[in-house]
A and B are shown apart, each in its own frame.
Chain A
Amino acid sequence: MLRAFGAAALVGATILVAGCGGSSSSGESESQTAAGISTAPPPTPTACETKGGTLKILSAGDVDHIDPGQGYYSFTYEITRPTQRALLSAKPGTVELQPDLAAGMPQVSKDGKTVTVKIRQGVHFSPPVNREVTSADVKYAIERGFATSVANGYAAAYFGVIQGAPKTAPQFPEPISGIETPDPSTLVFHLTQPEAVFVTALSMPLTAPVPEDYAKQYDDQTLSTYGLHQVASGPYMIKSNAAGSINGVGYKPNRLIDLVRNPNWDSSTDYRLACADEVRFEEGFQDPTVVAKTILSGSADANGDIPPPPAELRSILSSSTESKELFFTPTGGARYIALNTTEPPFDNANARKAVAYVLDRNALRLTRGGAVDGTIATHFIDPSFGDKGFEQAGGTGFNPFPSPDFSGDVTKAKELMKAAGYADGMYTGPQVTVVADNVPPGSDTAKVVAADLAKIGIKSRIISVTHATMYTKYCNVPKNEPNICPNVGWLPDFHEPQAILDVPFNGKNIIPSNNSNWPLLNDPAINAAMDRAEKTLDPSKRYEQWGKIDQQVTETASAIPWLWEDYPTLFSSRVVPALMVDNEGAPDVDFMSVR
Chain B
Amino acid sequence: MSVHVETEASRRPSPGGPPGGLAAAQRALAGVLGSSMLRYVVRRILWGIVLLFVVSGLTFLIFYAFPAADPAALRAGRQATPQLIEQIRHSLGLDKPVYDQYWLYMKGLVLHFDLGYSYENNVSVTSQILSRLPATIALTAGAFVVWMLVGIPVGILSAIKRRSVVDRTTMGASLLAISAPVYWLGLIALLLFSQDIGELHFLPGAGSYTPLTSDPTQWFFSLLMPWFVLAAAFAAFYARMVRGNLIDVLGEDYIRTARAKGLSERRVILRHGLRAALTPVVTMAGLDLGVLLGGAILTETVFNIPGVGRYAYDSIINSDLPAIQGTVLFGAFFIIVANIVVDVLYAFLDPRVRY
Contacts and interface: CB of A to CB of B under 8 A. Distances in A.
Interface of A: 2-4, 10, 58, 61-62, 64-66, 70, 72, 148-149, 151-154, 156-157, 168-169, 171, 222-225, 227-228, 247-248, 252-255, 282, 284-287, 289-290, 293-294, 296-299, 465-466, 468-469, 471-474, 476, 503, 511-514, 516
Contact of B302 (A152, A223, A286, A472): A286
Contacts of A247: 123
14 contacts: A58-B207, A72-B78, A151-B88, A253-B123, A286-B304, A287-B187, A290-B205, A293-B197, A294-B197, A465-B67, A468-B318, A469-B68, A471-B69, A514-B80
A66 B67 CA distance: 27
Contacts of B68: 466, 469, 473
B310 to A, nearest CB: 6
Top 6 nearest A-B pairs by Cβ distance?
A: A153-B77, A468-B69, A299-B196, A293-B197, A472-B70, A472-B73
A151 B77 contact: yes
A247 B88 CA distance: 23
Contacts of A296: 197
B311 A287 contact: no
Nearest to B301: A286
A514 B117 CA distance: 24
B74 interface: yes
B87 interface: yes
A149 B91 contact: yes
B281 interface: no
A514 B76 contact: yes
A223 B75 CA distance: 10
Interface of B: 67-70, 73-85, 87-88, 91-92, 117-118, 120-123, 127-128, 131, 187, 190-191, 195-197, 205-207, 301-302, 304, 306, 310-311, 314, 317-319
A153 B318 CA distance: 17
A1 to B, nearest CB: 9
Nearest to A512: B82
Contacts of A282: 207
A223 B77 contact: no
A558 B225 CA distance: 52
A157 B79 contact: yes
B206 to A, nearest CB: 5
A297 B196 contact: yes
B80 A153 contact: yes
Given A284-B301, A284-B306, A290-B197, 4 more contacts: A3-B79, A227-B121, A284-B207, A469-B68
A224 B206 CA distance: 34
Contacts of A252: 131, 306
Contacts of B319: 466, 468-469, 472
A157 B311 CA distance: 33
A509 to B, nearest CB: 9
Contact of A476 (B73, B81, B187): B73
A296 B123 CA distance: 34
Contacts of A287: 187, 206, 302
Contacts of B88: 148, 151
A153 B81 CA distance: 8
A52 to B, nearest CB: 22
Nearest to A490: B78
A575 to B, nearest CB: 16
A157 B128 CA distance: 34
A513 B82 contact: yes
Given A151-B76, A285-B206, A171 B91 contact: yes
A154 B314 contact: no
Contact of A516 (B78, B82, B311): B78
A154 B79 contact: yes
A228 B205 contact: no
A152 B207 CA distance: 32
Contacts of B74: 468, 472
B82 A511 contact: yes
A156 B196 contact: no
Nearest to B127: A248
B78 A2 contact: yes
Contacts of B92: 222-223
Given A228-B122, A284-B306, A287-B187, A148 B196 contact: no
A476 B304 CA distance: 33
A348 to B, nearest CB: 29
Nearest to B86: A513
Contacts of B206: 285, 287, 290, 294
B8 to A, nearest CB: 57
A294 B81 contact: no
A253 B84 contact: no
Given A228-B123, A513-B85, A255 B76 contact: no
A154 B70 contact: no
Contacts of A70: 77
A468 B319 CA distance: 8
B78 A4 contact: yes
B314 A2 contact: no
A222 B122 CA distance: 10
B77 A511 contact: no
B94 to A, nearest CB: 12
A223 B207 contact: no
A169 B302 contact: no
Nearest to B306: A255
A511 B83 CA distance: 10
B347 to A, nearest CB: 42
A182 to B, nearest CB: 30
A34 B304 CA distance: 37
A516 B79 CA distance: 8
B78 A154 contact: yes
